[in-house]
Structures are given as structure tokens and as C-alpha cells.
């Protein structure tokens, strides 16, 4: 029977060599081929090709290499991860991420995961018959994905000076799998400084404030996530001056603010703490906010803080109005505040809010 080669993944050369050695150690023949996404020095990826009958055996090896292993000690790697799905949200996120990576002196990695086909086998006596239509569909999906990646890079590089792009040497990863699961797995074994992704994907419903994949990464990633709305200005980083931290006076607020200040060290920004008083206990809220401000100013004398108390019956509307009136560039939340996140992302109120149209959200663990 004639062997037919298919692409397992497209990876940076160094990772492709590692994968080849892992596959060959398991008796799987593997070949590397150059993938020319674009000319002019942008062909930084290679295709890892194997016999299509070895796909089922090879997938676990690929996924283990890209992250599906237990990890106890977390050490950040010097790169910014940008999951993309070729949507306009992804394009905006990639543009913002490029500026951030350049500012941090970090590498940018563009990561795309296509849906994994279901492997079905039909037993006939002592042989196993594979559905040939499945592999034909996989090959068509592969070609379509590479074409979309080329088009995406064309749009991206037209907005970035070529010398800057060439100097940055971005990396590209394309693989088959479940997007959310794959992104989290990769973050687990290769913890980035920051994950930058579109706040929604190309398949988002009109009423969704945040996409399902983005939400899954936000709540489960062990790395800070910057979610970028589609209408974020192209020069956002150049005008990034204020970041608002929403507090509900929990015991870990000072830990969260400490981590937030470390994240913001490379940027010249002012931290604004804001609490929304829903009318339950205004006097106590004022006292706690004043105490927080005094403690922060004493602990961080070099930092610039503002603390604001908002009296409003509706939390999302209050946050939205505060962002607009005070020219806030980023709204920062911690994953610990799941109730606050859930209320802000409620689809029934998303259409009434302005903030999600242009204000990025920074979500981190504390």
C-alpha cells in the first residue's frame, strides 16, 4: 500500500526538530518541510509530515510536547502568546501584541489550533480500515488553514513597518486540536509573560461580550490575559496611561495590586482603584477605600494611585460610565472575582455597555 504523507503541525524550526526526535523515538517516520507562509523572510515555520496512518499515534506525542503534562514550577518565558482564529478581533489583538512584545523586548508567538478530526476505524477480520474521506477532508482543511494564515499575515504586516517585523522574528504554530484546550496546554508548559487575544472570536454571537474560548483561557490560564476588543485604537500602547482596578474590598486585594504593579513596571501608567457602592453600606465603603489608599501610598511611595468610590445601583453601568469619563485605558480584574466578571459579561447587558467596544480587559491571578 502506498504511503501518504500528511502534516501533523507547523512549528518553529527548533520545536519541529524536538517533535521529530520524539516521534522517531516511538518508531514514527517523520519528515520536515519548509512552509513559506509569505516571502521576504517570513517563512519561519516548517511542516512536520508523517504517514497519515500514524496520525492517531502521533497526536498524543505532539500534545504532550506542546503542554499536556503536569507542571509544578512556573517560570515565565520571554514571549507574548497570541492565539488567533483569523477574525478581525485576532488581527487587532496581534497588532497590539506586536507593540507590547517590542516594548518588553520579547518574542511574539502566533498560535492557531484547527478542529481535530474524529478518527474512526472499521474492523474487518484481522485488518483495520480507515475512512479515506476523513484524511481527504483533513488535507483540504490543512490547505485552507495555511491559506488563511497567509492572508492573515498579509493584513498584519501591512500595518507594521517591515524592518520592525523582520527584527521581531515572530514564530508561528499551527496544529490540530481543540482551541481552548490546546492554548491552555501550551501555556502550561511554556508560560508566557502575557497572553493577548481578541475578546471575541469570528464565530461570536452579536450579544456576546466575550467569546467562549477567550473566557475559558481567562478563567483557567496560569498567566495574565489581555483581552482586546475589535475597536481598540491602533496606537493604543502609545496612549496607555491609566489602568483601573475594580475592588470589592477582599483580603487578597493588596496581593492583586502588588502583582498588577509588577506587570505594569515596563509601562508608564497610573493605577486607579475603583469600588462601586450599590447602596448597602456607604459609610463603611468610604472608610475602607480611604484606608486602602493610605496603605497603598505608604507601601508604594514611588507609584501614583487614585481611589474612587462610585454610588450607583447598577454595577456594569457604573464601571462603564467611570471608564468613559476618566479615560481609562485598561480595566484590570482578577480571576478570583468570578462574580464580578460574570456580572460584567452578562449578555443581557452587554449591548448597553460602551467599554467593551474599545477598552481592553486585563485578567490575572491573585
Please write the tens of the pLDDT for every residue from 11-26: 887 788 888 889 998 8
Q: Does residue 235 lie in a domain region? A: no
Q: Which pLDDT belongs to residue 100?
A: 94
Beta-strand relationship, 5-12 and 121-124: unpaired
Q: Does residue 64 lie in a domain region? A: yes
Q: Do residue 100 and residue 50 come from a single domain?
A: yes
Q: Do residue 360 and residue 252 come from a single domain?
A: yes
Q: Do residue 255 and residue 213 come from a single domain?
A: no
**Mean pLDDT of all residues belonging to the chain:** 80
Q: Do residue 222 and residue 258 come from a single domain?
A: no
Question: To which residue does cell 499515534 refer?
Answer: 57
Q: What is the pLDDT of residues 225-270, one digit of tens each?
A: 999 988 888 789 988 999 999 887 777 788 888 888 888 888 888 8
Q: Give whichever of 80-84, 121-125, 219-223, 328-332 has the largest mean pLDDT.
A: 80-84
The model's confidence at residue 277, banded by pLDDT at 50, 70 and 90, is confident
Set of cell numbers at residue 202: 469570528
Degrees to nearest 5, angle at CA 293 with 290 and 298: 130
Q: Which pLDDT belongs to residue 1?
A: 46
Q: Give whichever of 41-50, 56-65, 349-358 has the largest mean pLDDT.
A: 56-65
Give 305 or 138, the one with higher predicted confidence: 305
Q: Do residue 177 and residue 110 come from a single domain?
A: yes
Q: Does residue 306 lie in a domain region? A: yes
Q: Which pLDDT belongs to residue 93?
A: 94
Answer yes or no: are the C-beta atoms of 97 and 108 closer than 8 Å: yes
Mean pLDDT of the 334-339 span: 64
Domain count across the chain: 2
Q: Does residue 283 lie in a domain region? A: yes
Q: Which pLDDT belongs to residue 293?
A: 85
Sequence-distant (≥ 6) Cβ neighbours of residue 160 within 8 angstroms = 95, 98
Sequence-distant (≥ 6) Cβ neighbours of residue 73 within 8 angstroms = none
Q: Do residue 72 and residue 213 come from a single domain?
A: yes
Q: Do residue 305 and residue 183 come from a single domain?
A: no
Please identify, among 187, 206, 228, the residue that sits at the C-terminal boundary of a domain.
Answer: 228
Q: Does residue 159 lie in a domain region? A: yes
Mean pLDDT of the 207-218 span: 75
Mean pLDDT of the 208-224 span: 81
Rounded to two decimals, what is the model's pTM? 0.77
Question: To which residue does cell 456594569 refer?
Answer: 316
Q: What is the pLDDT of residues 117-138, one digit of tens each?
A: 555 444 444 555 555 555 666 6
Q: Do residue 190 and residue 244 come from a single domain?
A: no
Q: Which pLDDT belongs to residue 156?
A: 92
Q: Do residue 75 and residue 158 come from a single domain?
A: yes
Q: Do residue 22 and residue 170 come from a single domain?
A: yes
18 to 15, 23, 95, 143: CA distances (angstroms): 5, 9, 29, 24
Please identify, among 184, 199, 228, the residue that sits at the C-terminal boundary of a domain.
Answer: 228
Q: Which pLDDT belongs to residue 215?
A: 82
Parent domain of 95 = 5-228
353 has a pLDDT exceeding 60: no
Q: Which pLDDT belongs to residue 192?
A: 94
Mean pLDDT of the 177-204 span: 85
36 has a pLDDT exceeding 80: no
Q: Do residue 173 and residue 220 come from a single domain?
A: yes
* CA gap 329, 194 in Å, rounded: 17
Q: Do residue 52 and residue 149 come from a single domain?
A: yes
Q: Which of 243, 231, 237 is nearest to 200 (CA)?
A: 231
Q: Which pLDDT belongs to residue 203?
A: 52
Question: To which residue does cell 491609566 refer?
Answer: 242
Q: Does residue 233 lie in a domain region? A: no
Q: Does residue 234 lie in a domain region? A: no
| Least-confidence region, from 54-63, 157-166, 355-364 | 355-364
CATH of the domain at 188: 3.40.50.620
Please identify, among 176, 205, 228, the residue that sits at the C-terminal boundary of a domain.
Answer: 228
Q: Does residue 115 lie in a domain region? A: yes
Set of cell numbers at residue 301: 511611595
Amino acid at each position: 500500500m502506498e504511503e501518504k504523507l500528511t502534516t501533523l503541525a507547523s512549528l518553529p524550526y527548533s520545536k519541529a526538530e524536538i517533535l521529530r526526535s520524539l516521534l522517531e523515538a516511538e518508531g514514527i517516520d517523520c519528515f520536515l518541510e519548509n512552509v513559506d507562509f509569505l516571502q521576504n523572510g517570513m517563512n519561519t515555520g516548517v511542516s512536520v509530515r508523517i504517514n497519515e496512518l500514524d496520525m492517531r499515534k502521533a497526536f498524543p506525542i505532539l500534545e504532550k510536547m506542546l503542554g499536556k503534562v503536569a507542571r509544578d514550577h512556573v517560570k515565565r518565558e520571554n514571549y507574548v502568546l497570541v492565539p488567533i482564529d483569523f477574525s478581525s478581533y485576532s488581527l487587532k489583538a496581534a497588532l497590539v501584541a506586536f507593540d507590547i512584545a517590542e516594548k518588553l523586548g520579547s518574542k511574539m508567538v502566533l498560535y492557531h489550533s484547527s478542529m481535530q478530526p474524529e478518527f474512526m476505524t472499521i474492523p474487518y477480520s484481522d485488518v483495520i480500515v480507515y475512512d479515506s474521506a476523513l484524511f481527504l477532508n483533513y488535507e483540504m482543511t490543512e490547505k485552507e488553514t495555511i491559506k488563511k494564515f497567509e492572508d492573515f499575515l498579509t493584513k498584519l504586516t501591512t500595518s507594521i513597518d517591515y524592518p520592525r517585523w523582520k527584527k521581531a522574528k515572530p514564530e508561528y504554530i499551527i496544529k490540530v486540536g481543540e482551541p481552548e484546550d490546546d492554548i491552555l496546554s501550551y501555556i502550561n508548559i511554556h508560560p508566557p509573560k502575557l497572553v493577548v487575544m481578541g475578546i471575541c472570536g469570528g464565530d461570536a454571537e452579536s450579544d456576546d461580550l466575550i467569546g467562549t474560548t477567550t473566557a475559558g483561557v481567562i478563567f483557567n490560564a496560569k498567566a495574565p490575559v489581555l483581552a482586546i476588543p475589535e475597536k481598540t485604537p491602533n496606537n493604543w500602547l502609545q496612549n496607555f496611561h491609566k489602568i483601573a482596578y475594580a475592588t470589592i474590598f477582599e483580603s487578597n486585594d493588596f496581593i492583586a495590586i502588588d502583582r498588577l504593579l509588577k506587570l505594569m513596571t515596563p509601562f508608564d501608567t497610573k493605577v486607579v482603584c475603583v469600588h462601586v457602592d450599590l447602596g448597602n453600606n456607604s459609610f463603611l465603603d468610604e472608610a475602607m477605600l480611604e484606608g486602602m489608599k493610605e496603605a497603598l501610598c505608604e507601601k508604594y511611595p514611588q507609584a501614583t494611585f487614585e481611589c474612587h468610590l462610585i454610588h450607583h445601583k447598577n454595577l456594569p453601568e457604573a464601571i462603564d460610565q467611570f471608564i468613559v469619563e476618566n479615560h481609562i485605558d485598561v480595566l484590570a480584574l482578577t480571576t478570583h472575582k468570578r462574580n464580578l466578571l460574570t456580572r460584567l459579561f452578562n449578555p443581557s447587558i452587554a449591548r448597553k455597555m460602551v467599554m467593551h467596544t474599545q477598552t481592553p480587559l486585563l485578567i490575572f491571578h491573585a
